[in-house]
Amino acid sequence: MPWRPPSAGPDDLDARLAPFRERGGRLHRNDGELVGEVYLQPVVYWTSRGVLWWRRWSDPDEHVHGMLFFADGRFSDFYEFGQGLDEDLHLWPNGTFRLNGEDLQVFWLDDEASSAMRQRWDLDPADY
C-alpha cells in the first residue's frame, strides 16, 4: 500500500465540473449591487482506511474549493462536495450562486478573465 494516493487522472475528474474549473465570476444582487467575486478550484480527494500495511485508499472524489472576495474587502472560502455540490451544479449553469441562503446572480468569466483574476488575487494553483 503506497503512503500517498495515486495521481488524479482524467477518469477521476467529475465531468459536470468542466465549465467551472479554475473559473471566476462576479456576484451581484438582483438590484445590480456588486457583492464581490468568486473563484472556483476543483480538488481531488482520497481517504485512507485501515492501519499500517492494511491501509487502502478510497476511490477519488472531486470537491470544489471556492474563494470569495467581497466588494467591502473581506475574504472567505468554502469547500463544496456531496449533495451541496449537486445542488450547486443545478444553479451555477443558470447564473445563480447561493451564498448564506441568498440567491445571487453570477456572471461567469471567460478563461482569460479568470486567469487575470487568479493573478490579481495571487491564487497559485499549486497552493491549494
pLDDT at 116 over 80: yes
The count of domains in the chain is: 1
Residue 116 lies in a domain: yes
User: At which residue does the C-alpha cell 451541496 appear?
Assistant: 84
Residue 3 lies in a domain: no
Residue 28 lies in a domain: yes
Mean per-residue pLDDT over the chain, rounded: 87
pLDDT digits (tens, 9 = 90+) for 117-128: 999 988 866 544
Distances from the Cα of 42 to the Cαs of 4, 22, 47, 68, 119, in angstroms? 19, 7, 17, 15, 18
Domain that holds residue 102: 10-127
CA 124 to chain CA centroid, nearest Å: 14
pLDDT digits (tens, 9 = 90+) for 71-115: 999 999 999 998 999 999 999 999 999 999 999 999 999 999 999
